[in-house]
Structure 1
């Protein structure tokens, strides 16, 4: 190993329904104006790019069928539809994840470097935050995201979820306390994160166990998501010594059918922070995202190698924030 958007849905031409070309164009523009927001909501709700894209397409189908004269606020309506569609998907997905082979991690996505300049924005799509959001109930997750990330008032959230404002406030308070108790407690700037990522990369490529351990916090946790399709740990691995041995072992042997000499590792902006993409001859075979503590050491590693979760990375798709 060495260093190194979905298709538009046609709403029809309006023939025979009294809708002229000009109105149709305005309708498309109304949805297109909010499309990135809808994807951003759905991705944070579901933790997957493919599921988020499917949700947005379903929202488009709802939008294309609604009587627009009855929609006073297209943005609020579309967010409401998207959130409820995502809730339905999340409830069914949580049942499937109970039988998932090994740890389940979100689907990684590339982000532009300037996203990292906004600390709150980058944190909201970080692997660490998405993993924490998985521990919330679907409704708690929806309320937390709409309020804390997207800034919707409780009254609008209550209308979107068809709940009382009092109930939504209670959900929001519970979710916020839960997230605050579990989110990473140490903040590092982007430059330090990149330096830590580079040190981790060099130590991993060198196969130096001691040097790798120096880059890790004593209580570091390793999550590996292979989905039962590639070699991965079935449980999280705890402690610098165990994590370092696993990393050294996996970088020295063929992985996902790719020989070590045919692998390349490169630094990329993944989910708002510097991370690593592991490439094989035919494309990415994994991503590595790191959490960093206040001593500049790696406190958590999220390794995604399930090929079903690498589509967005393979297609160089970037997350609209």
Structure 2
């Protein structure tokens, strides 16, 4: 299997080109040789000029034509939205062909993406569609706290409706298998409740008893070390203190808020359940500072490191 990491450039007008150039400049020659960037060479060269970095990108970049490139920094447009889609589409095709081992995605702008006619809720939905998958799960990973979500980019009302036993059980299974792959022999998993105090014996809702508890019970029958539902106002603290290896969050903000509080610059977004591997920075396009050289590449470095860990774990099991 390929050991090459493929990085998609994200929205050309955002900070993606800059953080990619910074990350490439710090890599060893061996790591750069095992890296490909799916993006636009002219935009990356413009980022090099902003940063004052000398680096030959010609053998690293799969150059995708973008009309008018290099595009102005920090400006939302359908042209940049379409470009970000085409970078990802090419990377997915290359990964599906087995020519790269993991995709690392720089940030895209959802408004720009949709204005170009690509109607996705973000990377996870797009990758699910492009790979022909039924569904995928978003996992946020940091050193001391890892969270996987039952649902992500839907309204809170819809998220509650999606928290059914079948989906919760599938999320537990996906999280368990992912942690085993990266070296956890028997992952300790906690499932967050959806209502305050898990419904307080049905005083504040019945979903915890009727939907979450049965999923946890079934997972335990399968041999998974899982507990829950556990009140969301304590479970993340317990996991951060070492009590659990992974928390199942029922909806987007329930999982994102604690992770971004404790690991804003280092948390990695991982797509779980796809036929290909993908990691990502956990921040946006930052149009307000794009082209200034101020964007930090700490999160990009973390996403690349996690990608190499996934590749190593897969190749070790081949």
TM-score (normalizing by structure 2)? 0.31
Q: Which has the higher helix share?
A: 1
Specify the structure having the higher radius of gyration (Cα): 1
